[in-house]
């Protein structure tokens, strides 16, 4: 057992080193680029003209809700909506007309929307398999971007999209909004003090009674209402299938399941809280073991991923859709343990610490620290008044980690990231 005592700033030094490694992995992309380094910011009083790619539940319920909430205060206007499914884009357009009094243009393909001259920024809420396609196109069009997670599910496509955004110097906010939640901001500041000492392990178990993709299935979708080729983007040669379309979360060609979906939120939060860089290796196992039925879903309902980081920390993530109990998120340090409740309180104690030094006594609840919500932060960044809470490089880091897990799961082998060459190999 190591009895050496680290200074209260030990975690801060590791945070700095982790950030430096992440920047190196992105080709020296600065972690906090100044507003003046971006291609252009929207004027202080100018209206921010927004286009929406993807008008499903995330785009309609979440993105549009926050645009509406901040439309007056931040001077926003949705000028275009895009979705290959006609009823979705019509519903989104009607919603914009209802609260703003102005009808946005409607498009079935992002290509046509990006030809618009009066467009400043684009919000991407499309399915996982086209996130990088849309981000790269938005960047090449010179539009600022809010991009949902996971930022990418294929490594080469991820690198192309990130490099395009970097070259265009657009302002990117990635949709890992847990960085903005008050409880997590408070936890980050507690951890940065070094009070937990070196973190040997961070773990999350997130279980459920049923895979989340079941509630999405709608067999009533009509072929004539959907541009099937625009949706699939070549990922399958299967003919139109309303279940394959609406249940895409559960089909591996479009989404690889809990790790890139739920796990991307978690691994990004770990990076934010701890300052860890990018994993060295990952082992991931699982399969479809419980939910076997006529839908023939191929995304795993059981998954376990283990990442090893160069900062001598192990990070684990597990999902079980066969039993909903056992959910937890814990950070295990040499001086104590911190437990997070999802969107709730965080408690840290000296429990389990092998090098307890008396700095933690009893149960300590972390105080919330409020700041602008994730969307408002991006709107403010577009005017040069803030830095994005989840910038491009943060998206790259979580996507690399989840792609490593995906590659290990598919191959049954350990994946390994090479920061100097930006490559992932299998041992």
**Would the pLDDT of 15 be above 50?**
no
Residue 89 CA to residue 81 CA, distance in Å, equals 6
pLDDT for residue 344: 78
pLDDT for residue 45: 73
Q: Looking at the domain that runs over 28-177+376-392, which CATH code has it been given? A: 3.40.50.720
Q: Are 59 and 66 in contact (CB under 8 A)?
A: no
pLDDT for residue 283: 98
Over residues 401-420, mean pLDDT: 98
**Would the pLDDT of 184 be above 70?**
yes
pLDDT digits (tens, 9 = 90+) for 213-245: 999 999 999 999 999 999 999 999 999 999 999
Weakest-pLDDT range from 24-28, 63-67, 386-390: 24-28
320 is written with which tokens? 């079980």
pLDDT digits (tens, 9 = 90+) for 89-137: 999 999 999 999 999 999 999 999 999 999 999 999 999 999 999 999 9
Q: Are 335 and 224 in contact (CB under 8 A)?
A: no
pLDDT for residue 34: 47
Residue 378 CA to residue 113 CA, distance in Å, equals 21
pLDDT for residue 33: 45
**Would the pLDDT of 30 be above 70?**
no
pLDDT digits (tens, 9 = 90+) for 303-335: 999 999 999 999 999 999 999 999 999 999 999
Q: For residue 31, report the phi and psi dihedrals to the nearest 5 degrees.
A: -70, -30
Percent of the chain with pLDDT over 70: 90
Chain CA centroid to CA 33, Å: 20
pLDDT band at residue 37 using 50, 70 and 90 as cut-offs: low
pLDDT for residue 40: 65
pLDDT digits (tens, 9 = 90+) for 126-179: 999 999 999 999 999 999 999 999 999 999 999 999 999 999 999 999 999 999
Using alpha carbons, select from 302, 303, 261 the residue that is nearest to residue 282.
303
pLDDT digits (tens, 9 = 90+) for 347-366: 999 999 999 999 999 999 99
Mean model confidence pLDDT for the chain? 92
DSSP letter for each residue of 263-301: IHHHHHHHHHHH-----SEEEEEEE--S--STT---S-S
pLDDT for residue 188: 98
Superfamily of domain 182-369+399-426 in CATH is Dihydrodipicolinate Reductase; domain 2 (3.30.360.10)
Enumerate residues 6+ apart whose C-beta is below 8 A from 117: none
**Would the pLDDT of 427 be above 90?**
yes
Exposed (0-12), middle (13-18) or buried (19+): which is 423, by Cβ within 10 Å?
exposed
Beta strands in 163-226 (DSSP E): 172-174, 199-205
pLDDT band at residue 10 using 50, 70 and 90 as cut-offs: very low
pLDDT digits (tens, 9 = 90+) for 366-381: 999 999 999 999 999 9
305 is written with which tokens? 């991923």
**Would the pLDDT of 4 be above 50?**
no
Over residues 194-217, mean pLDDT: 98
Stated as kind and residue range, the H or E segment containing 209 is none
pLDDT for residue 11: 40
Quick check: do 28-177+376-392 and 182-369+399-426 share a fold? no
Domain ranges of the chain: 28-177+376-392, 182-369+399-426
């Amino acid at each position: 057992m190591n009895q050496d005592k680290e200074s209260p700033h030990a975690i801060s030094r590791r945070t700095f080193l982790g950030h430096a490694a992440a920047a190196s992995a992105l080709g020296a992309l600065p972690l906090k680029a100044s507003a003046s380094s971006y291609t252009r910011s929207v004027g202080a009083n100018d209206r921010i003209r927004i286009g929406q790619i993807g008008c499903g539940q995330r785009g309609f319920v979440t993105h549009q809700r926050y645009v509406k909430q901040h439309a007056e205060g931040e001077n926003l206007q949705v000028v275009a909506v895009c979705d290959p499914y006609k009823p979705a884009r019509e519903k989104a357009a009607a919603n914009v007309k209802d609260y703003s009094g102005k009808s946005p243009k409607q498009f079935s393909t992002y290509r046509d929307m990006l030809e618009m001259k009066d467009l400043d920024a684009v919000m991407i809420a499309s399915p996982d398999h086209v996130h990088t396609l849309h981000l790269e196109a938005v960047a090449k069009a010179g539009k600022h971007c809010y991009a949902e997670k996971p930022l990418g599910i294929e490594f080469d496509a991820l690198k192309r999209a990130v490099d395009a955004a970097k070259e265009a110097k657009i302002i990117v906010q990635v949709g890992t909004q847990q960085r903005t939640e008050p409880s997590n901001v408070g936890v980050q500041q507690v951890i940065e003090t070094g009070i937990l000492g070196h973190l040997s392990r961070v773990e999350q178990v997130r279980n459920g009674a049923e895979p989340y993709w079941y509630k999405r299935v709608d067999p009533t979708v009509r072929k004539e209402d959907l541009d099937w080729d625009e949706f699939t983007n070549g990922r399958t040669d299967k003919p139109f299938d309303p279940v394959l379309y609406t249940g895409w979360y559960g089909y591996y060609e479009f989404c690889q399941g809990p790790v890139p979906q739920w796990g991307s939120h978690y691994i990004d939060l770990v990076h934010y809280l701890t300052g860890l860089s990018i994993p060295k290796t990952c082992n991931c196992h699982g399969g479809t073991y419980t939910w076997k039925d006529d839908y023939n879903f191929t995304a795993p309902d059981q998954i376990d991923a283990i990442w090893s980081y160069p900062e001598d920390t192990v990070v684990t993530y597990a999902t079980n859709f066969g039993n909903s109990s056992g959910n937890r998120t814990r950070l295990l340090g040499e001086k104590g343990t911190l437990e997070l409740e999802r969107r709730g309180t965080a408690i840290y104690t000296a429990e389990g610490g092998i090098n307890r030094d008396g700095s933690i006594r009893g149960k300590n609840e972390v105080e919330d620290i409020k700041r602008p919500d994730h969307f408002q932060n991006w709107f403010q960044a577009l005017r040069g008044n803030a830095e994005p809470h989840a910038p491009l490089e943060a998206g790259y880091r979580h996507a690399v980690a989840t792609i490593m897990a995906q590659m290990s799961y598919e191959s049954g082998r350990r994946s390994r990231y090479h920061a100097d060459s930006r490559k992932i190999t299998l041992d």
